[in-house]
Structure 1
Amino acid sequence: MKFKLALAVFVAAASTAAIAGQAEDQQVKFRQSAYSFAAWNCSKIKSQVVEHPETYNKEQVVAAANSVAAVANSGLGALYGPGTDQATGWKKSRLKPEFFDKPEDAKKAAVAFNKEANELAKVAATGDVGAIKTQFGKVGETCKSCHDSFRIRD
């Protein structure tokens, strides 16, 4: 058991180090891809729970919520290396330089996203459309808060 735990810790540390050591442009590509995937899944939830609840499909909403939680728990922080505010991934990064000046605020935003995304996955599993809608709103608030603080507006 201790060997498996030690192996898991080693693999996680090596993976994080490998990502952090990648060029800034590659970090931004991965970051942009992860957020695009999360947004796509959020749009599925929004469509079925907020805009057209008559189309609600529990399995699809659960899968989408689990995908959003997976992104939130994937270690995205490793993709915010120094210089990634000036890098170009699939498109130019919209990360404000202030992100690096306020690490505690950035951490707080990330923790809030993780917490609310994990809760969304739990609530989605219940099938309670009203509760899913409420929790989905909380996830959206964490996204907006981070964007307001750390994302350059288009």
Structure 2
Amino acid sequence: MKSVIATLVGGALLASSLSVAAVEPAKQIELRQAGFSYMAWNMGKLKAQVIDGSVEYNQQQVEAAANTIAAIANSGIGALFGPGTEQNIGDVHTKVDPALFENMQDVAQLAGNMGTAANTLAEKAAAGDQSEIRVAFGEVGKTCKACHDKYRLD
């Protein structure tokens, strides 16, 4: 866990030192989609082990997946919603509703909720109580849905 925290802090410092303007809009879209896809993949691993039981429970895998979700949620990924990323750019397509860019205070609140829920999930995964992990998993899912319902196009 300490190495994950060190990586997050180092990543946050690096991210804060780089200007989003240095990353062209099409690349911002690709990067944020990759981050959210990786988060979804890890949510799927948790779902299979803790919710569905379709895969045998493995404490190390569950903890790693939860830590990854928390790392992405707290990575500053919101910086990848820069100017010009509200629209498709060439072959790079986005599902973001342009309304997101007009409601950044609300988006910041939603992102904060996700970070808090993801941190709780990581804590519960470290403790290993599957019933508590299930509850925390559901809370993370609710934060994803809250943003998707408001700011994701079909």
TM-score by length of 1: 0.87
Q: 1:10 to 1:32 in 2, by over 3 A?
A: closer
Which residue number in structure 1 is paired with residue 124 of structure 2? 123
- Percent identity of equivalent pairs: 42
Q: Tell whether 2:24 aligns with 1:13.
A: no
Q: Tell whether 2:43 aligns with 1:42.
A: yes
**Paired residues of 2:29 and 2:80 also in contact (CA < 8 A):** yes
* Structure number, greater radius of gyration: 1
DSSP 3-state at the match of 1:55: coil
**Counterpart amino acid of 2:123?**
K
TM-score by length of 2: 0.87
- 1:10: Cα distance to partner? 6.7
Distance (Å, rounded) in 1 between the aligned partners of 2:107 and 2:144: 12
Which residue number in structure 2 is paired with residue 110 of structure 1? 111
Distance (Å, rounded) in 2 between the aligned partners of 1:109 and 1:90: 29
Corresponding residue pairs, total: 144
Which residue number in structure 2 is paired with residue 94 of structure 1? 95
> Cα deviation per residue 1:53-87 (whole Å; 9 max; x = unaligned)?
77111110000000000101111111000110103
Distance (Å, rounded) in 2 between the aligned partners of 1:30 and 1:89: 16
DSSP 3-state at the match of 2:84: coil
Distance (Å, rounded) in 1 between the aligned partners of 2:96 and 2:108: 15
Distance (Å, rounded) in 1 between the aligned partners of 2:129 and 2:84: 43
Distance (Å, rounded) in 2 between the aligned partners of 1:37 and 1:105: 24
- 1:103: Cα distance to partner? 1.1
Which residue number in structure 1 is paired with residue 57 of structure 2? 56
Gaps (5+ residues) in structure 1? Answer: 1-7
Q: 1:10 to 1:51 in 2, by over 3 A?
A: closer
